Structure 1
Amino acid sequence: MTSIGIFGSMGRMGQAIVAVAPQLGAQIAGGCDQGDDTAELARKADVLVDFSAPAALEAHLAAARAAWTPIMIGTTGLSERHHALITQAAGEIPVLQTGNTSMGIALLARLVREAAARLGPDWDIEIVEMHHRNKADAPSGTALMLGEAAAHGIGTTLSAAAVTDRAGLTGPRADGTIGMASLRGGSVVGDHSVVFATAGERIELIHRADDRAIFARGAVRGALWLKDQQPGRYTMDQVLGM
């Protein structure tokens, strides 16, 4: 039975993974939180999952590399430096990094990319996400993931196309941009909508998460898949075989 080590084991996702892992044929090798021995956990686990905090990612990648242990990263709020560290680690070990571990979101991202590519420049793209009041980062990692999929579809990058700060007299919408809006309140697990709009019609692709267990199941499924891969950087698309 594959053993999974959890960075951020006391958090919401860490506890959810502990609960669902046995149902999916995995066992928990242990957990690691602030101040714990990352190296020991990396050595005894077959695969690691990280749902901790961006500030801890560098140390967790170093521990995974030292032990040659695959690692799945679901931590959001990452910077360009974090992504550079992930790419560097992927030269030595298998690394799966995603803004969302839901199988439904993985499929949604694929649909968004295809829709953006097929609809063409006459269609405006807007992304709206809502999460619980305690979420620390905005836009959400999932919204960024969907934005990147849309940007890929229209042949640009999200950093070039994203608009996140509309306020005041902004003027007409600029062509080729991707609007992103973040809502926070209550106990919402995660709602994401991608809107494609043109003159006279609109398409909306929506995913609503009602139970955090969907992310835990996806994380375990991703970790089990990652264990058997060669060194490289992977996405949830590949877990689904897309």
Structure 2
Amino acid sequence: MRIAVIGAAGRMGKYLIQATAEAEGVTLGAAILRPGSSLVGADAGEIAGVGKLGVAAVDSIQACAEDFDVLIDFTPPGLTIQNATACAQLGKAVVIGTTGLSDEEKNQLNALAEKTSIVFAPNMSVGVNLTLKLLAMAAEILGDDYDVEIVEAHHRHKVDSPSGTALRMGEVVAEALGRDLNECAVYGREGKIGPRTQKEIGFETIRAGDVVGDHSVWFATEGERIEIVHKASSRMTFAKGAVRAAAWLEGKKSGLFDMQDVLNLK
């Protein structure tokens, strides 16, 4: 599979280029920058700091349409939809790690998945997706007798809150408990809020420094507390997962998938 990385000069873009260069069974076919970037024409490997790879950076998907099979996209939500639309028109697969998509934008991805294959996940980490499986198992076993609280921490530059991963964790737990997260979620607490209700799922958010991503889910009842925790120390874990998803899409013509599909956890 020939991979194109969009946002190639960004933090995640550089990790994605490195992860692609190091992975077996895939190759870097294209590196895409923002239009007008001064780095257009530069070697993608040198942009990422991994040495020459023989791939000159371009400033649009159309400029490299013949050079890749699957696009990896961690750009902001509005751009992600534009990029996925362009790929669907070109018959290219897409791996999307963008967070903060609205319900309308998610519906647009569903529609685009009728034309091409898409892996969309709020977190591409293999460890996080195994954690989601563990959360579903815990919720099913513990049931309504345990209070559920989700605490997440990220770097000061993250723009959405709670994180897409925290929300997905909440969705997984809610589904296992037969609840609707839109109805039972509580985001932060302040003032005289009264006793906790039995079926709410709480979210707490921390933004500080350069935290890559910490998530902790509490299942607590009288006498004991279980915590399921995942901590990411490098963005490379997300990049490696995204490259694994890109390789998994080979031969798939259409459909909307997530990392649970990629890892055969369903």
TM-score interval w.r.t. the shorter chain? over 0.9
CA distance in 2, matches of 1:67, 1:8: 19
Distance 2:21 2:117 in 1: 23
Greater shift after overlay, 98-107 or 43-52? Answer: 43-52
Corresponding residue number in structure 1 for 2:16: 17
What CA distance in whole angstroms lies between the structure 2 residues aligned with 1:152 and 1:68?
A: 33
- Code of the residue aligned with 2:209 in structure 1: it is G
Per the alignment, residue 144 of structure 2 pairs with 121
Residue of structure 2 in register with 1:46 after alignment: 69
Distance in 2, matches of 1:40 and 1:155, equals 47
Instruction: Give the match for residue 75 of structure 1.
Output: 98
Structure 1 residue 128, shift from structure 2 partner: 0.4
AA partner of residue 31 (structure 1): A
Secondary structure at the aligned position of 2:145 is classed as coil
| Runs of 5+ consecutive residues of structure 2 not aligned to the other structure | 36-58
Question: CA 1:182 to 1:41, structure 2 compared with 1: closer, same or farther past 3 Å?
Answer: farther
Instruction: Report which structure shows greater RCO (CA 8 Å, sep ≥6).
Output: 1
Query: Displacement, 1:37?
Result: 2.0
Counterpart-to-counterpart distance in 2, 1:157 and 1:56: 29
Shift of 1:114: 1.6
8 Å CA contact 2:188, 2:205 repeated in 1: no
Deviation digits for residues 115-154 of structure 1 (CA, Å, limit 9, x no counterpart)? 1122111111110010111111111111111111111111
Q: Report deviation, 1:34.
A: 3.0
Q: How does 1:64-213 map to 2 (within 5 A)?
A: 64-213=87-236
- Structure 1 position 12, deviation (Å): 1.2
Deviates more, 1:53-62 or 1:202-211: 53-62
**Segment drifting more, 2-11 vs 204-213:** 2-11
Change in 2 beyond 3 A, CA 1:144/1:42:
farther
Alpha-carbon shift at residue 43 of structure 1 (Å): 4.4
1:186, distance to aligned residue in structure 2 (A): 1.2
Structure number with bigger Rg: 2
Normalising by structure 1, we get a TM-score of: 0.95
Q: What residue identity is the alignment partner of 1:6?
A: V
User: Structure 2 length normalisation: TM-score?
Assistant: 0.87
| Separation (CA, whole Å) in 1 of partners of 2:217 and 2:210 | 21
- Paired with 2:200 and 2:78, the residues of 1 have a C-alpha distance of 31
42-51 or 62-71, larger mean C-alpha shift: 42-51
**Partner SS state of residue 144, structure 2:** coil
Shift of residue 59, structure 1, vs aligned partner? 1.1
The residue type equivalent to 1:32 in the other structure is: I
Indicate conservation of the 8 Å contact 1:43/1:69, yes or no: no
Tell me the residue number matched to 1:29. Answer: 29
1:217-239 per-residue CA deviation (whole Å, 9 max, x = no partner) reads 11100111023324111111111
Deviates more, 1:143-152 or 1:98-107: 143-152
**Hey, what's the Cα distance between the residues in 1 that align with 2:107 and 2:86?**
16
Q: How many residues align structurally?
A: 241
Q: Report the CA distance between 1:29 and its aligned residue.
A: 1.7
RMSD: 1.3
Over the matched positions of the two proteins, sequence identity in percent amounts to 40
Query: How far did residue 42 of structure 1 move?
Result: 4.5
Separation in 2, partners of 1:104, 1:39: 34
| Contact preservation (8 Å) 1:127, 1:195 | yes
| Separation (CA, whole Å) in 2 of partners of 1:133 and 1:107 | 26
The letter for the 1-side match of 2:22 is Q
Q: Which runs of 5+ in 1 are unaligned?
A: none
Q: Name the SS for the 1:81 alignment partner.
A: helix
